[in-house]
Structure 1
Amino acid sequence: MSETWVVPELDVRLFDADRWAPYTERCRSAGLRLTTFAELGDSAENRRPLYELNSNCAAVRCGSHGVRREHRGAGVAVAMKVHGMGFAGLCGVHRVRTMHHAANTKAITMNRMLGCADADRQESED
């Protein structure tokens, strides 16, 4: 049985982070911190909470960005994506691609809303 994957792609140089600033500000106002390992330090101590979050989210199939159930629907995934695009730009990355199962319409819609275009669709054998 094959599965279809959607591959949204974004040119980071054309991404307007200011347009999406209300999402990041709302998260910060709610006490959520958007950060990177570059800022925190890439250590086992700092990776442990991320591992636990992703393990928890994988159990409920919420995706690899790891938005906890109590924060879903509040724009946290958008804020995380915006923060990530900003970091990618700082690192000199010009193009970002992600991959979603075709049934993950929320993630696909979010990426398109942010300006991603579908790079291609990929079929995989299960």
Structure 2
Amino acid sequence: MVDWVKLELDVEGFDDAGFERYLRRAQSSGTRFTTMADLGDAPEHRRVLYELNRTCSADIPDRGPFYTYDEYAAQRLDVATYNPGGVIIAVQGDEWIGMSATSLHPDRGHAFSDMTGVLAPHRGKGLSLALKLLAIRFVRSSGYRRLVAFHHPQNHAAIAMNRRLGFVDQAR
């Protein structure tokens, strides 16, 4: 059994200014950011999101087989916690190169970081930080104070990125 690393960010106390440069750098290099809401939460966009999520998830330690499209839609898209405004997409030209999906959980009083990932050829440029910054802004604008993320303990890059943003270990 995996002892997941459970992290939490105080969204109200988060200082955007320290991470704005990652967003500006990505935009100056031709990356634009949009959301599923802005693109249109249509079946063809959901399919592209699925493929991007599946590809990015392949690097998660012990991930195992990814969902089928129907399983993904049933567990991630066709649920009350899904909000297309909380799915941020990084795009270069016509290619979707990164994503950050955040779900809202009013019953738990927090938002949840479902997945942040960037395709391998585009990593190391701060895109994950830019995507996560936009996700945090979505959470804040949705009226939530806490953003929670769970990571496999061997997913060192994701854990380090979240801690850099100010996530701390969640009280057990």
Q: Scaled by the length of structure 2, what TM-score is found?
A: 0.63
Written as runs of structure 1 = structure 2, the 5 A alignment for 1:89-104 is 89-104=140-155
**Aligned-residue RMSD, C-alpha:** 1.9
Q: Relative to total residues, which structure has the larger helix share, 1 or 2?
A: 1
Instruction: Provide the C-alpha distance between the structure 1 equivalents of 2:160 and 2:128, rounded to a whole number of angstroms.
Output: 12
Q: Contact between 1:5 and 1:100, CA under 8 Å: does it hold in 2?
A: yes
Distance 1:22 1:113 in 2: 14
Partner of 1:77: 128
Structure 2 Cα separation of the partners of residues 105 and 56 of structure 1: 18
How far apart, in 1, do the equivalents of 2:14 and 2:43 lie?
A: 32
TM-aligned CA distance change 1:116 to 1:58, over 3 Å: closer
Q: Distance in 2 between matches of 1:14 and 1:36?
A: 24
Aligned residues: 120
Q: Which has the higher strand share?
A: 2
Between 1 and 2, higher relative CO (CA 8 Å, sep ≥ 6) is seen in 1
What is the aligned partner in structure 2 of residue 50 from structure 1? 49
- Structure 2 regions of 5+ residues with no counterpart? 64-114
How far, CA to CA, are the matches of 2:14 and 2:37 in structure 1?
21
Tell me which residue corresponds to 2:71.
none
Identity of aligned residues (%): 43
**Which runs of at least 4 in structure 1 moved beyond 3 Å after TM superposition?**
59-64
Distance 1:108 1:59 in 2: 16
Q: Which amino acid aligns with 2:8?
A: E
Q: State whether structure 2 residue 165 is matched by structure 1 residue 114.
A: yes
Distance 1:100 1:60, change over 3 A: closer
1:87 to 134, 138, 155: 138
Shift in Å at residue 66 of structure 1?
Answer: 2.6
CA distance in 2, matches of 1:44, 1:55: 16
Q: Superposed, which structure 2 residues align to 1:11-30 within 5 Å?
A: 11-30=10-29
Q: Is the 8 A contact 2:22 2:130 kept in 1?
A: yes
- Give the aligned partner of residue 124 of structure 1: none
Q: Which amino acid aligns with 1:78?
A: L
